[in-house]
Amino acid sequence: MTTLFAERALLPEGWASNVRIVVDDTGHIASVSKDSAAEAQDEKLGAKFLLPAPSNLHSHAFQRAMAGMTEYRSARHDDFWSWRTLMYRFLDVLTPDQIEAIAALVYVEMQEAGYAAVGEFHYVHHRPGGGTYDNIAELSERIFAAVKETGIGLTHLPVLYTYGGADKQPLKGGQQRFGCDLERFVKLHEAARAGLRNLHTDSAMGVAPHSLRATDPEQLKEIENLFADGPVHIHAAEQVREVEDVEAWLGARPVEWLLDNAGVNQRWCLIHATQMNAAETSGLAKSGAVAGLCPITEANLGDGIFNAQAFFADGGHFGVGSDSNIRISLAEELRQLEYSQRLKHKARNVLASSASTGENLYMKAAIGSARALGRNSGVIEKGRLADIVAIDAGDMAFCGLKEYQLLDGWIFAADDGVVSDVWSAGRHCVKNGHHIKRDSVERWYRKVLGELMDQI
């Protein structure tokens, strides 16, 4: 049992004072009491205010190693596809050891940014060229090792990636490392599931058909039959060219096709539903699925702007993820989301539904990301996992702000240094702004990146 005592905490009903939170040995919240007195064994948090910690619902951890390396023009018109070419060059050399070290740093950075858990959309499965490792789930195991090292919560999402493009194009080059037909994928998924049993009990599995362009309608039907439980994640419609290719092949736009044919419901998370028309936006909002938004990466790759205003108006669920991990910042994902809407609509506070835009965005993202990961978190209440973040309310960024403006201060004005502590299912991984494994993981990453850069 661990007990936290906070002067202020954001509970489902709003801000509360003198909150005592008891966390049991399984990482669940055993009790929450307001207006209580601290007891001798309580960890007293002083000026640290407690919030539910969201999950990062979409990550490709290995891409963190490329951050800052593709910010130059590689073609007359540079776009997602030229970025992807450079990403594939990386895949020619990455080893399991390197993937594990990169993932460990990514998870340290995520927790230091205020995320308690991650949905790892895991699609590098095989050796360069496509040969299987001795353990077919070797690279899933490397993700698990990084999770174990850092203590982050995990929903593991092994990816089915069969084709190199819409209408069953063959895999090419770097894509060989992703390649699975359905039979190979089922074996891989089973092996990963066996490995997951050695992780924290809050770890979970889902399934991720990569996208319509990398799978086909028959496979998606089979996926539904084979994996009846747990989250289903898919890259939906990130690029205009992708929409055109799918339309030429299946006679419908990707999100339109998924809504009409794939049984999209609350188990589903559509990542990068960037290119949607009004009917798709409304249909997705009403399906109960979560829109997995990655505003920093989507801006970095020049994808376009998600139609958030209409999606929110129809009651759509959303969460955020860091996708390419070009930059890992929970507050900045939400800031970028709101700012993209301000620029698009030439208006302010576009995604507000109450006095505080920040609080509205934050609480919805916390709940939506938990739903997308099948994780029993997102609010601080009895029975939930203790995914909690402490913000240093004494930081200069909050000077003069009222309590209801705290999240506006964090999201729009502060830097990430205001994140003081993070508990992932009760595991106290970030203390006073510093992940407990930060120093060793950073040394490991620096060493591995040195080796990697000699190979590229």
CB 390 → Zn ion: shortest distance, Å?
A: 30
d(C-alpha 440, C-alpha 456), whole Å? 25
CB 104 → Zn ion: shortest distance, Å?
A: 20
CB 325 → Zn ion: shortest distance, Å?
A: 10
CB 110 → Zn ion: shortest distance, Å?
A: 15
When the beta carbons of 165 and 409 are compared against Zn ion, the nearer one is: 165
d(C-alpha 68, C-alpha 307), whole Å? 28
When the beta carbons of 216 and 323 are compared against Zn ion, the nearer one is: 323
Cα 206 off chain centre by: 13
When the beta carbons of 242 and 323 are compared against Zn ion, the nearer one is: 323
d(C-alpha 44, C-alpha 417), whole Å? 20
When the beta carbons of 280 and 323 are compared against Zn ion, the nearer one is: 323
d(C-alpha 331, C-alpha 407), whole Å? 9
Catalytic one of 245, 323, 392, 408: 323
Helix/strand/coil (H, E, C) string of the chain? CEEEEEEEEEECCEEEEEEEEEECCCCEEEEEECCCCCCCCCEECCCEEEEECCEEEEECHHHHHHCCCCCCCCCCCCCHHHHHHHHHHHHCCCCHHHHHHHHHHHHHHHHHHCCCEEEEEECCCCCCCCCCCCCCCHHHHHHHHHHHHHCCEEEEEEEECCCCECCCECCCHHHHHCCCCHHHHHHHHHHHHHHHCCCCCCCEECEEECECCCCCHHHHHHHHHHCCCCCEEEECCCCHHHHHHHHHHHCCCHHHHHHHHCCCCCCEEEECCCCCCHHHHHHHHHHCCEEEECHHHHHHCCCCCCCHHHHHHCCCEEEECCECCCCCCHHHHHHHHHHHHHHHHCCCCCCCCCCCHHHHHHHHHHHHHHHHHCCCCCCCCCCCECCEEEEECCCHHHCCCCHHHHHHHHHHHCCHHHEEEEEECCEEEEECCEECCHHHHHHHHHHHHHHHHHHC
- CA nearest to 58, candidates 7, 109, 117, 3: 117
CB 368 → Zn ion: shortest distance, Å?
A: 17
Q: Which residue in the shown chain puts its C-beta closest to Zn ion? A: 323
CB 310 → Zn ion: shortest distance, Å?
A: 23
When the beta carbons of 255 and 389 are compared against Zn ion, the nearer one is: 255
When the beta carbons of 121 and 444 are compared against Zn ion, the nearer one is: 121
Catalytic one of 125, 126, 272, 428: 272
When the beta carbons of 323 and 392 are compared against Zn ion, the nearer one is: 323
When the beta carbons of 21 and 270 are compared against Zn ion, the nearer one is: 270
Cα distances from 253 to residues 198, 325, 341, in angstroms, run 41, 28, 23
| Residue 122 bears catalytic tag | no
CB 323 → Zn ion: shortest distance, Å?
A: 5
CB 423 within 8 A of CB 23: yes
| Residue 416 bears catalytic tag | no
CB 42 → Zn ion: shortest distance, Å?
A: 41
**Longest CA–CA separation in the chain, Å:** 68
When the beta carbons of 202 and 323 are compared against Zn ion, the nearer one is: 323
CB 294 within 8 A of CB 322: yes
Where along the sequence are the contacts to Zn ion (CB under 5 A)? 323
Which residues are marked as active site? 272, 323
